[in-house]
Amino acid sequence: MFNGSGTLSRSLAVLVALFILIPMLLVAVMSFGQGSSLRFPPQAYTLESYAAYFKSRSWTIPTLNSFVIGALSAILALAVTTPAAFAFTLYDFRGKRLIRLLVMMPLMVPFIVMALAYFFFFGQIGLLNTMAGVIIAHACLAIPIVFLIQSASLKGFDWTLVRASQACGAGAFTTFRRICLPILRPSFLVAGLFAFISSFDETVVALFISGRAASTLPRRMFESVRQESDPIVAVVSTLLFGAVAAVALVVALRQRRAARPANR
């Protein structure tokens, strides 16, 4: 039915892709430019900004911070959400709907409101400008998405397997470790990856509460653009873009492999 408009829809898709990609490509081109400020088009092409990025502690430390905060907040979010997702899937209890609403709250409250709340609250309990503070805040922000992904995978889980495992002689903990976890692991990893990305990408809350000591990469980039117009920002953007593209490629390839029928 859409055969006749094949060319049209394909050109439209290419246009949209270009519209999204061109700003990224501009930044990528600028990252190879010479000089101490951002300019397009660059007068000459070098890798000196890349060298500067990897040499500058004011950039590598926020990068490392972002990785640590992303990883630990993802682990924290998974640790909190996994029991909750199991409980919501398996049991009916009083106040279930209200508690589900509370779990999903970070998705609905504007980030700026959350950021202000963390700013005042963490200030009072001494978590302001600390890694721990940012990790806790980012874990909270990631809870809804992690909870949604885990709930979906638990809903598709065949609970007879738990009974089968028990009938084989396994207690609750062994059943979880040897049956539930291996089957659910891929989707739990995806949930963790989403938590990591949401933390890595998060700027507003980080601006308010991360301070100098726990400065994240997005915060550092924001400061750089405002104060220095440093070409290293373009380097970081290009590296991030490359990393995301690589991850997307790996995921796409794995999905294609999974979609192929199993070899007999």
> Residues 68, 134: contact at Cβ < 8 Å?
no
Shortest Å, Cβ 255 to another protein: 17
Contacts of 89 (CB under 8 A, 6+ apart): 151, 154, 155, 157
The answer to the question of residue 183 lying near another protein (CB under 8 A) is yes
Phi and psi at 230, nearest 5°, equal: -80, 130
**Tokens (6 digits) for 147:** 């909870």
Q: Which is nearer to another protein, 39 or 178 (CB)?
A: 178
Q: Which stretch binds another protein (CB under 8 A): 3-11, 42-50, 168-176, 199-207?
A: 168-176
Shortest Å, Cβ 129 to another protein: 45
Q: Which stretch binds another protein (CB under 8 A): 84-92, 145-153, 160-168, 210-218?
A: 160-168
Per-residue CA distances from 78 to 14, 188, 216, 243 (Å): 38, 8, 21, 23
The answer to the question of residue 158 lying near another protein (CB under 8 A) is yes
Phi and psi at 202, nearest 5°, equal: -75, 130
The answer to the question of residue 154 lying near another protein (CB under 8 A) is no
Q: Which of 94, 256, 260, 264 binds another protein (CB under 8 A)?
A: 264
Instruction: Please count the other Cβ atoms lying within 10 Å of the Cβ belonging to residue 171.
Output: 9
Q: Which is nearer to another protein, 39 or 185 (CB)?
A: 185
User: What is the Cα–Cα distance from 12 to 53, expressed in whole angstroms?
Assistant: 38
Q: Which is nearest to 217 in space by CA: 231, 228, 233?
A: 233
Shortest Å, Cβ 85 to another protein: 20
Q: Which stretch binds another protein (CB under 8 A): 45-53, 101-109, 159-167, 196-204?
A: 159-167
Q: Which is nearer to another protein, 40 or 159 (CB)?
A: 159
Cα end-to-end distance, the chain, whole Å? 37
Residues of span 82-101 touching another protein by CB under 8 A = none
**Tokens (6 digits) for 43:** 């007068």
User: What is the Cα–Cα distance from 130 to 198, expressed in whole angstroms?
Assistant: 19
Q: Which stretch binds another protein (CB under 8 A): 40-48, 119-127, 139-147, 176-184?
A: 176-184
Instruction: Please count the other Cβ atoms lying within 10 Å of the Cβ belonging to residue 124.
Output: 8
User: What is the Cα–Cα distance from 138 to 202, expressed in whole angstroms?
Assistant: 8
Q: Which stretch binds another protein (CB under 8 A): 84-92, 112-120, 157-165, 218-226?
A: 157-165
The answer to the question of residue 187 lying near another protein (CB under 8 A) is no
Q: Which of 9, 36, 174, 229 binds another protein (CB under 8 A)?
A: 174
Q: Which of 25, 164, 225, 246 binds another protein (CB under 8 A)?
A: 164
Binding site for another protein (CB under 8 A): 158, 160-161, 163-171, 174, 178-179, 182-183, 262, 264
